[in-house]
A and B are shown apart, each in its own frame.
Chain A
Amino acid sequence: GQQVMQIPQYQHVQEGEDFTTYCNSSTTLSNIQWYKQRPGGHPVFLIQLVKSGEVKKQKRLTFQFGEAKKNSSLHITATQTTDVGTYFCAGPGDDKIIFGKGTRLHILP
């Protein structure tokens, strides 16, 4: 079945360092969505990418959609403690969103 693979599973970074999580699909995606879930919280929608090669920025967050629309990345510049949480990518399946397993980001002070 359709899968959305996400790596790494965990990432520990020093505060101020950069962070990147990668998402790969077994099939071409019409779009890719990114969600953030803080510890003890619920998933919150961050962004949706639709176009091949699309790059979008939200302050220190940069989202990219691959040219083949099979992969995507989220890059955070100069991480802060508020960035702690799990970042999920999600792609459209036949009848539901397929979530990646998520990347859990820990910030070391």
Chain B
Amino acid sequence: DTEVTQTPKHLVMGMTNKKSLKCEQHMGHRAMYWYKQKAKKPPELMFVYSYEKLSINESVPSRFSPECPNSSLLNLHLHALQPEDSALYLCASSQNRGAWPTDTQYFGPGTRLTVL
């Protein structure tokens, strides 16, 4: 299985809502990532987990809270978001051997988030 899955595909939320994005992979990868992608821009790294521990936080606002319950799952909890947070949120995984966190990224289909 070479797939990374993400739910939901689309999410519309108000600025006072709390929601969560979910990501799952069954490739045995031990590094998992959250990226944010705005239209016509490259993916922008938010967080990296290695062996279920948060390794990199790219100075992301606290209204985004990541969680890695186990080696296959990655969540992103959202609270009090702003309209400018509307974007495609991509989960990715990699093998976490040798060259991590710069080794090949396997991306999920993403969650398209709209904040009203």
Contact of A93 among B102, B106, B109 (CB under 8 A): B102
Contact of A100 among B40, B42, B48, B105 (CB under 8 A): B42
A97-B105 in contact given A88-B42, A104-B40 (Cβ < 8 Å):
yes
Inter-chain contact total with CB atoms closer than 8 Å: 50
Say yes or no: is A42 at the interface (Cβ < 8 Å to chain B).
yes
Check A99–B104 contact: CB distance below 8 A.
no
Say yes or no: is A108 at the interface (Cβ < 8 Å to chain B).
no
Check B42–A44 contact: CB distance below 8 A.
no
Check B43–A43 contact: CB distance below 8 A.
yes
B97 to chain A, nearest CB (A): 14
> Which A residue sits closest to B35, measured CB to CB?
A43
Say yes or no: is A96 at the interface (Cβ < 8 Å to chain B).
yes
Check A101–B56 contact: CB distance below 8 A.
no
A-B contact pairs, 10 of them (CB 8 A): A42-B107, A44-B107, A45-B105, A45-B106, A95-B56, A96-B48, A96-B101, A97-B105, A102-B42, A104-B40
Enumerate chain B interface residues (CB-CB to A < 8 A).
40-43, 45, 48, 56, 58, 88, 90, 99, 101-102, 104-110
Enumerate chain A interface residues (CB-CB to B < 8 A).
30-31, 33, 35, 41-45, 48, 88, 90, 92-93, 95-97, 99-102, 104
